Amino acid sequence: MQSTNEYGQGKSHASGESKVPGKVQEAAPRGLEEALPDKLHPTGKEPGQSTNKSHAVDPDASIVPKKLQEKLPESVERAVPNIIHDTGPKK
């Protein structure tokens, strides 16, 4: 693999098995990889636990502060009732 540039391109940032082809992972900016749903492309320390992004359907409609949404693991966000923090259908 090539070295990464300032956008994180040049390597994959997946932390688990990804459904995104390897060459696409390497070409995509890190921010794009982290924005993908964990079920397609996990990027957290543990697969399915990505942070630095909200997993809410509409982060602005959530009662949970946005910064907190971005720091919580997906499993914690999904444990909160949808009436407070809507993450869509329960898995």
The amino acid sitting at 17 is E
Is the pLDDT at 65 greater than 80? The verdict is yes
Do residues 35 and 13 touch, judged by C-beta distance below 8 A?
no
How many beta carbons lie within 10 A of that of residue 42, not counting itself?
Answer: 23
Report the number of distinct structural domains present in the chain.
2
Domain shared by 29 and 57, yes or no: no
Q: What is the CA radius of gyration of the chain?
A: 14
pLDDT of res. 1 = 45
DSSP 8-state secondary structure symbol assigned to residue 76 = H
Domain ranges, residue 81 = 51-91
Domain shared by 82 and 57, yes or no: yes
| pLDDT band, very low/low/confident/very high, at 13 (cuts 50, 70, 90) | confident
pLDDT of res. 54 = 87
Which of 3, 6, 67, 14 has the alpha carbon at shortest distance from 39? 14
Which of 52, 47, 48 has the alpha carbon at shortest distance from 75? 48
For the entire predicted model, the pTM comes to 0.49
The tens digit of pLDDT for each residue in 21-60 reads 888 888 888 878 887 877 788 887 766 566 678 889 999 9
Domain shared by 5 and 38, yes or no: yes
Domain shared by 69 and 91, yes or no: yes
Which of 89, 32, 85, 90 has the alpha carbon at shortest distance from 60? 85
